[in-house]
């Protein structure tokens, strides 16, 4: 039996010699993404871990053109690249934005919103390691409630919940939004193929465990991805045109503590807080399921698959 991973190109566009930490969650995703998109792709990355991972001048680990962008402006840089490709007839070249959570949820949200509103023809992958890891683990609006970071050092960690990128992007009615995780490569590849087959603004939100910032063992990265999906912390779903939600993997409701105990950043979380996290995950899941069901009932014919 063969799956989407077997059909992947054997060509390695991410070469050896990149500068990622051992166990880093981002490199498998970048490798898979470029295997799907191929050499006729231009990458734009804002300031983020990957801006370092790709290599310092005069080296680059990517076998495709790579444009470094100002922190807050990668979607606008990419819009310029797209415009230039289009006016020079290079419509077949993919424009891929590769950005961290800081450059997506925080400082880059304005230019991201604008590029989404213009429905710019590009694929945006946000690799979300839930804090500013490149600068040494500071909180972002993608950091979950309860997590320790260097700027949320109090005993209860970050107090505010994670910003909901999926709802923000759905509100822009972009052609395609999907969540993906390091633990589900087949799902990742299928969704990237789906994105590749469409035009307009497409965004993949990638759950990207970080051994350094999460105080986790580098051998647990895929495991952490799986537990995030199973506990409902990071549900896997797709949203078409902002209005048709499809849930891909139902949580197994593995106890939250199984996910938390592998990460030093949650060491200070108390049992009542763990219960609160479970309630939050179930409530979010219920909202997601309700939305998917209501949308399917409203427009049954339009529901994909």
Partner 1 sequence: MTTTVPAPAASRTSILTGNQAAAWGAFLARTQVVSAYPITPQTTIIETLADLYQRATWPSRFVNVESEHSAMAVCIGASITGTRVFTATSAQGLALMHELLHWAAGSRLPIVMVDVNRAMAPGWSIWTDQNDSLSQRDTGWAQVYCSTAQDVLDHVVMAFRLAETTNVPVMVVEDAFVLSHTAEAVEVPAQEVVDNFLPPRTPSFKLDVEKPAAFGGLLGPDWYQEVRQDLHDSMLRIGGLLPKAYADWARLTGRAYDVVETWHMDDARVALVTSGTVSQTAQEVVESDWARREKVGLVQIRLFRPFPAARLREVLGGVEKVAVIDRNCSYGHHGIFFQELKSALYGLPDARRPKAYGYVMGLGGRDVSVESIEDVLRRTVSRPAPEPETTWLGAVLPPGAPVKACACGEEVTR
**Where on the chain is the footprint of partner 1 (CB under 8 A)?**
39-42, 44, 51-52, 54-58, 60, 62-70, 72-73, 76-90, 93, 110-111, 113-114, 117-118
Please identify, using beta-carbon distances, which residue of 39 and 290 lies nearer to partner 1.
Answer: 39
Determine how many CB atoms are found less than 10 A away from the CB of residue 57. 6
CA atoms of 257 and 239, how far apart (whole Å): 29
CB of 55 to partner 1, least distance (A): 7
CB of 113 to partner 1, least distance (A): 7
Please identify, using beta-carbon distances, which residue of 3 and 65 lies nearer to partner 1.
Answer: 65
**Which of 231, 230, 234 minimizes the C-alpha distance to 206?**
234
**Measured between alpha carbons, how far is residue 145 from residues 53, 133, 248 in Å?**
28, 17, 25
Please identify, using beta-carbon distances, which residue of 41 and 152 lies nearer to partner 1.
Answer: 41
Please identify, using beta-carbon distances, which residue of 89 and 304 lies nearer to partner 1.
Answer: 89
**Measured between alpha carbons, how far is residue 196 from residues 156, 176, 257, 264 in Å?**
42, 10, 37, 37
CB of 72 to partner 1, least distance (A): 7
**Measured between alpha carbons, how far is residue 214 from residues 68, 132, 143, 221 in Å?**
26, 11, 11, 10
CA atoms of 61 and 296, how far apart (whole Å): 43
Please identify, using beta-carbon distances, which residue of 34 and 233 lies nearer to partner 1.
Answer: 34
CB of 98 to partner 1, least distance (A): 12
CB of 297 to partner 1, least distance (A): 35
E strand or H helix at 111:
helix 109-117
């Amino acid at each position: 039996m063969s799956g989407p991973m077997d059909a992947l190109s054997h060509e390695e566009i991410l070469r050896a010699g990149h500068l990622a930490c051992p166990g880093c969650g981002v490199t498998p995703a970048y490798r898979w993404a470029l295997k799907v998109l191929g050499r006729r792709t231009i990458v734009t990355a804002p300031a983020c871990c990957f801006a370092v991972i790709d290599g310092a001048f005069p080296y680059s680990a990517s076998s495709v053109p790579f444009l470094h962008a100002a922190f807050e402006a990668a979607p606008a840089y990419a819009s310029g690249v797209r415009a230039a490709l289009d006016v020079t007839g290079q419509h077949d070249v993919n424009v891929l934005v590769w950005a961290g959570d800081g450059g997506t949820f925080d400082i880059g949200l304005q230019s991201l919103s604008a590029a989404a509103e213009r429905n710019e023809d590009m694929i945006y992958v946000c690799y979300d390691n839930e804090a500013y890891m490149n600068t040494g683990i500071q909180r972002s609006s993608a950091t979950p409630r309860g997590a320790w970071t260097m700027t949320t050092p109090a005993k209860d960690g970050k107090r505010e919940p994670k910003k909901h990128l999926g709802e923000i992007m759905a509100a822009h009615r972009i052609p395609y939004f999907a969540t993906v995780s390091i633990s589900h490569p087949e799902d990742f590849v299928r969704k990237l193929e789906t994105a590749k087959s469409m035009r307009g603004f497409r965004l993949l939100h990638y759950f990207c465990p970080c051994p350094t910032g999460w105080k986790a063992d580098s051998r647990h990265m895929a495991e952490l991805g799986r537990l995030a999906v199973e506990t409902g912390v990071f549900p896997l779903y797709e949203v078409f045109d902002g209005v048709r939600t499809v849930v891909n993997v139902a949580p197994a409701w593995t106890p939250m503590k199984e996910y938390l105990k592998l990460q030093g950043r949650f060491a200070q979380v108390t049992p009542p807080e763990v219960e609160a996290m479970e309630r939050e995950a179930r409530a979010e899941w219920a909202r997601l399921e309700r939305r998917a069901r209501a949308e399917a009932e409203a427009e049954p014919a339009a529901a994909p698959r």
